[in-house]
Amino acid sequence: MRICSIDSTLNEELPAKQIAKLIDPDIAKVEINIVKKKVGTIGLDRKTLEKSHVLFITLPKKKLTQEMYIELISYVDIGGTLILTLPSPPWEDLGRFFEEMINELGITFQPNYVYGLPKIPSNTRLIGAKLTITKTHVIDYNENKDFLKENGIKKYIPLALMDKKPVILAGYKRRGKFVIISSPEIFSDINSDFLNRLVLLSSQKIDYLLSEKIKRYNIGKSNFGLQLQHGSLQSYLLSLYHYNFMFLQKEVEYTSKEDLTESIYKVLLKQKVISDLPSKQEIFNTIEKIKIK
């Protein structure tokens, strides 16, 4: 069983137990571990980090020491996933080494709040997740090629957008990943679904991005085709084509092949084309060719 650790040693504003209640071990496929400071240790020591596949640090209030900074960066670099929720800036109270860590990750917050409801990009495996945040900060990130190369950052991936700008951002750094969250509202009951999916993908080391190379299947002998790509849990991204033209792309919740067949058939009935439409049986037979998790 993979370990999801929730830190409580940096005097976090949000209790670790509150976060733990939002993560269902059966859905996220992890064992929850709350990190507590022990006498003679720094809490987030190497032994603790080495056994943690995912690590939550949420609204820290205690200054980061040089030793912690080195250990946390090393944790990401060797393959861990750090999920870091930050308070509103400025962050001077968190100390020099916290600032150095944030600089190495290449992120900053825009100072003013943005308001609204976030959108999950359709190219990520978090499609279908329920997410409600009303007040947050836009996250800026450093795309300078020399900076990225020096710090081993391969790419940044927006996981949630508000006004088309990232408010939850993932980064791939050497062998590991980090996720920056700009609002504590993420830890409300309504966002449990999003958090479970995020932990599941992170602990299993699954790419947050959907693949750009996904097979397209012709539906029977018709001129229609479909692609179906798994996001997380029961959510899939469905793309329908007429010849090479994609006329529909949407997230679907998979329940059964029969229900998916019916849904696709209803969409095709609305298409005004000269060529014959595929039958329900042809749609069903095409779906059967696809590996559905």
H-type alpha helices, the chain: 16-20, 25-28, 46-50, 66-77, 96-105, 145-151, 192-203, 257-269, 280-289
Q: How far is residue 286's CA from residue 175's CA, in Å, rounded to a whole number?
A: 37
Question: What is the structure's pLDDT at 129?
Answer: 96
3-state secondary structure of 187: helix
Residue located via tokens 């085709």: 225
- Does residue 239 contact residue 248 with C-beta atoms inside 8 Å? yes
| 179-206 mean pLDDT | 97
What residues contact residue 91 under an 8 Å CB cut-off, 6+ apart?
98, 99, 102
Contact 32, 23 (CB under 8 A): yes
What's the rounded Cα separation, in Å, for the pair 75 and 95?
Answer: 20
For residue 186, is pLDDT > 70? yes
pLDDT in tens, 78-91: 999 999 999 999 99
Task: Give the pLDDT confidence of 103-147 residue by residue, as tens digits.
Answer: 999 999 999 999 999 999 999 999 999 999 999 999 999 999 999
pLDDT-above-70 percentage for the chain: 99
- Do 77 and 154 touch, CB atoms closer than 8 A? no
Residues 27 and 196: beta-carbon distance below 8 Å: yes
Three-state DSSP class for residue 132: coil
pLDDT attached to residue 160: 98
For the entire predicted model, the pTM comes to: 0.94
What size, in residues, is the chain?
293
pLDDT over 90 (residue 293): no
Q: Residue 29 and residue 220: Cα distance in Å, rounded? A: 38
- Asked whether 137 and 167 are in contact (CB, 8 A), the reply is yes
Q: Is residue 53's pLDDT more than 70?
A: yes
- More confident call, 229 vs 276: 229
Helices 280-289 and 257-269: angle between axes, nearest 10 degrees: 130
pLDDT at 30 over 70: yes
CA-based max dimension of the chain? 77
pLDDT (0 to 100) of residue 274: 75
Q: Which two tokens stand for residue 265?
A: 């058939």
**Which tens digit of pLDDT belongs to each residue from 240-271?**
999 999 999 999 999 999 999 999 999 999 98
The chain-wide mean pLDDT, for the chain, equals 94
- Using pLDDT thresholds of 50, 70 and 90, give the confidence band for residue 40: low
| Radius of gyration (C-alpha) of the chain in whole angstroms | 22
Share of the chain above pLDDT 90, in %: 89
Strands 217-218 and 224-230: antiparallel
